[in-house]
Amino acid sequence: MAEAERVIGTPDVDDEAAATAEEPKGKRKIVALFVVAVLAYLLDIGSKTLVVAKLEHHEPFALVGNVLQFEVIRNAGAAFGFGEAYTVVFTCIAAAVIVVIARLSRKLHSLPWAIALGLLLGGAFGNLTDRIFRSPGLFHGAVVDFIAPAHFAIFNLADSAICCGGVLIVILSFRGLDPDGTVHKD
């Protein structure tokens, strides 16, 4: 009889316990997202600061012969140097990515998605920081790229984080795992 008298939409004691048990689980995933993002950001900014201070205006530094070098360049464009005249557009895109990830994080209950989105967020913030604060000026800054594998584009740790996060998102999507933790088998 008590069940029939219950107002629709009000939780049982069991529903409240389940909701309380799930709440910290979701918060832990948000914390994981931001921890990964902060680590990716700090590694990127720290590496760029060190490289600019020690290697800019010097000959490339060989790490593994001609296979892998550190060579500092300033990239005003997107990946592979495309779109150098559109720095402001890339700044807006990076800002939009950050907003989308922040909004998505409210429904985040999957640790793999938290890691993937954290990598994207940290990388986007790293390159956005360059675009806002580096020369030639506010919102026109050039991103510092320095990792130079043979026969490939020069990139930085933010680019690596963005690519790894993107690949992880593709894998999670193909496996049917959603950011809210549900799994689809179709």
DSSP 57: T
Q: Where are the domains of the chain?
A: 47-186
Given a contact cutoff of 8 angstroms between Cβ atoms, the answer to whether 40 and 157 are in contact is: yes
The mean per-residue pLDDT over the stretch 157-168 comes to 95
pLDDT of residue 166: 94
Mean pLDDT of the region 74-88:
71
Whole-number Å distance between alpha carbons of 86 and 82:
9
User: Which are the catalytic amino acids?
Assistant: 145, 159
Each residue's pLDDT tens digit, 8-61: 444 454 544 444 444 445 566 899 999 999 999 999 999 999 999 999 999 988
Round the CA-based radius of gyration of the chain to a whole number and report it: 21
Dmax of the chain from CA atoms? 82
Q: How is residue 59 annotated by DSSP? A: P
Backbone angles phi, psi at 155, to 5 degrees: -140, -175
Q: What is the pTM of this model?
A: 0.80
Kindly list the distances between the CA atom of residue 138 and the CA atoms of 21, 96, 126, 130, 179, in Å, as whole numbers in the listed order: 46, 18, 15, 9, 35
Residue 83: predicted pLDDT: 63
| pLDDT recorded at residue 92 | 82
- Listed range (16-30, 106-120, 153-167) with the worst mean pLDDT: 16-30
Share of the chain above pLDDT 70, in %: 79
Whether 71 shows a pLDDT value over 80: the answer reads yes
